[in-house]
Amino acid sequence: MKLKTVTLQWTGESLVLVDQRKLPHIVEYVECKTYQEVARAIKDMIVRGAPAIGAVAAFGFVLGAKEFSKLGKEEFLSSMNLVHNTLASTRPTAVNLFWALERMNKKLDSISSSEELLKSLEEEAMRIAMEDIEINKAIGMHGQELLKDGDTVLTHCNAGALATVDYGTALGVIRAAVEKGKKIRAYVDETRPYLQGARLTAWELVQLGVESILITDNMAGWVMKQGKINAVIVGADRIAANGDVANKIGTYSVAVLAHKNKVPFYVAAPTSTIDIRIKDGGQIPIEERSHTEVTHLNGVRVAAEGVKVYNPAFDVTEHELVNAIITEKGILRPPYDQSIARLFSSEGKM
């Protein structure tokens, strides 16, 4: 079994990832032949974006199974527990990581024949990846209904094909609107400190032929006040049962500004990003990353020596600031504790 998308390539023996740290100037690939290499790729942000992390972790699980498949049953299961824990420890906020690993563990528990072990696990990882593409397209189709011909959308961070297996969530909505013949423009927040907007979102939109205007993060409020923005669309790394949204740092500020300027604020994410075990955003773990991401730019120090740094990778936007959550199952509206509960009850998950 093989798979090739803009984000990843599964060869059957290894996982090849586009190195998102090098984009947009260099298109370079990193080959992962072990689950440890996959874990490092996730932690070091060679790959990023909640749906992409989940799919990549699933293939990392397969690589771990390949490595330990010759062991006896007890040793194998102990080793696979190590594989799971190693992959799960890479990024704490994105719930898709844990969702995908849980699926792989359930598949592992259901396999009775050692002859079918590797094939079944690989098939499950492929299902996760292929489902993500179809889910993103469905999100796009539902979300594009919220956009009118001629609308201008503000984005934050990168929630495009590079953050998923392919197509994208927030950018998938823009993409689907364009495919429907709508003329859409985009303002792109640069997204400090890692510049996912400037480096990745702008690059993707240029490739798609969408007119895009890059702005610094602290310009967003002024652009909204000038009436240039018709909607804000962002992705999510985890959504609580009450609709609170964890996403890239700066999302909360954008949501507050959108609320102040009466601009609708939409979140586009698969249902796998909704964590019904988390009551509200206060329970979502927030990853803090290296201080050098703030003190340095392209390897060059831009901050004074000795200054202290706080670098949370995510923030939480309260559900009151979210006008709609766009999923592959449809558009969720407030009150989210009820609409999310109905969604999961209908799927037999509550």
Q: Which residues are known catalytic residues?
A: 237
**Residue 45 vs residues 19, 21, 252: alpha-carbon distances, Å:** 8, 7, 22
Could you tell me if 16 and 9 are in contact, meaning their C-beta atoms sit under 8 angstroms apart? yes
Could you tell me if 116 and 110 are in contact, meaning their C-beta atoms sit under 8 angstroms apart? no
Sequence-separated (6 or more) residues with CB below 8 Å from residue 311: 193, 288, 289, 290, 291, 293, 294
SS3 (DSSP) at 155: strand
DSSP per position, 223-284: HHHTT--SEEEE--SEEETTS-EEEETTHHHHHHHHHHTT--EEEE--GGGEETT--SGGGS
> Which strands, in side-by-side order, build the sheet including 238-240?
274-275, 238-240, 245-248, 314-317
